[in-house]
Structure 1
Amino acid sequence: MQEKEVYDYLTAHGVKASVQRVAVMQYLLQQMGHPTVDEIYQALVDHIPTLSKTTVYNTLRLLMEHGVVRMLTIDGKNANFDGVTEPHAHFLCHQCGRIFNIESPSELLAAPPTAPQGFAIETADLYYRGVCPDCLAKQDT
């Protein structure tokens, strides 16, 4: 997405689009991976020298509140961020640590199981773990 499109996207979701917010959102939408706060900061600080990690944290929190970013805790150690908010599953390669978006049967993501009496399910995450094709290929050689 171009900067103007990201600006319009954020504005349409009720987010006041600052230079930092547009840069963080654009970076997330351009990444095929799921970066951490540190990775986002390192990628953007050379282009926005006044950027701080606190600004990145606060921006991501705001974007999550407005539903334009998802936080993943698939590996139990890191918070990773995803700019794709449509229902989908994630795959963690336990060898290289990369996280991939993967399609999953829609019935697994669209209709969560019936909640016990008195519970209200608001979100559901579906994670798979295993070995990615690149790591499998390295094993075969």
Structure 2
Amino acid sequence: MKMTYRVEELKEYLKKHGIRPSTIRIKVLKYLLENRIHPTADDIYKSLINEIPTLSKTSVYNTLDLFLKKGLVSTLSFKEKELRYDINTRFHGHFKCEICGKVYDFPVSEKMLEVDELKGFSIKNVDINVYGICKECNEKIIKNFKEEE
């Protein structure tokens, strides 16, 4: 089920994080909250350009940079040229399907970092990325394989 957010809620959320609300900032935030697909800046731009004809890619990048500085989003890179943005800033891992390209969140315990090998280290950032074939693609492969028999 897709959540929908009212403009007033989004304005308050931005203000609470020290960000002055603007049409572009509200639309980008709304997109990120309603489409938890780990989009690129280009994905966001393409999705919003019809709603905001004056939108530029620079405006999207500037908004995402501001959101990143204020802790509203985090970035993922997955061995790609373009960064992806994640509205979920809690500690978690990512699984990327090598067939469909979708990125899925999964829970991870911070206790996994409490090991002797890391005692005395100052951990600044943790990226837990897992690669493989998602359940949906696996099911398609199995179905196609059975149909060929």
User: Is TM-score (shorter-chain normalized) higher than 0.5?
Assistant: yes
- The gaps in structure 1 that reach 5 residues or longer are none
Correspondence for 2:100 among 60, 79, 96: 96
Which residue number corresponds to residue 131 of structure 1? 133
User: Cα RMSD between the aligned structures?
Assistant: 1.7
% of aligned pairs identical? 36
* Separation of aligned partners in 1, 2:91 and 2:112: 10
Equivalence for 1:4: 8
Shift of the 115–50 alpha-carbon distance from structure 1 to 2, 3 Å rule, reads farther
Mapped pair 1:105 → 2:109:
yes
Residues 12 and 122 of structure 1, relative CA distance in 2, 3 Å threshold? same
One-letter code aligned to 1:43 = S
Q: What is the Cα deviation at residue 127 of structure 1?
A: 1.0
Letter in 1 for 2:111: E
Match of 1:78, as an amino acid? E
TM superposition outliers: structure 1 runs of 4+ over 3 Å: 111-116
Matched pairs, number: 137
* Residue aligning to 1:26: 30
* Aligned-partner residue type, residue 75 of structure 1: K
Residue 13 of structure 1 pairs with residue 17 of structure 2: yes
Opposite residue 85 of structure 1, the aligned amino acid is: T
Would you say the 8 A contact 2:36–2:87 is kept in 1? no
TM-score (norm 2): 0.84
Larger Rg: 2
SS at match of 1:89: strand
Q: Which runs of 5+ in 2 are unaligned?
A: 144-149
| TM-score of the aligned structures, taking structure 1 as reference length | 0.89
- The whole-number CA distance in structure 1 between the counterparts of 2:22 and 2:112 is 36
Residues of 2 paired with 1:115 and 1:125: CA distance? Answer: 19
**Relative to 1, partners in 2 of residues 1:115 and 1:91: Cα closer, same or farther, differing over 3 Å?**
farther
Alpha-carbon distance, 1:115 to partner? 5.4
Q: In structure 2, the residue corresponding to 1:11 is in which secondary structure?
A: helix
Once residues 115 and 45 of structure 1 are traced to their aligned partners in structure 2, the CA distance between those partners, rounded to angstroms, is 48
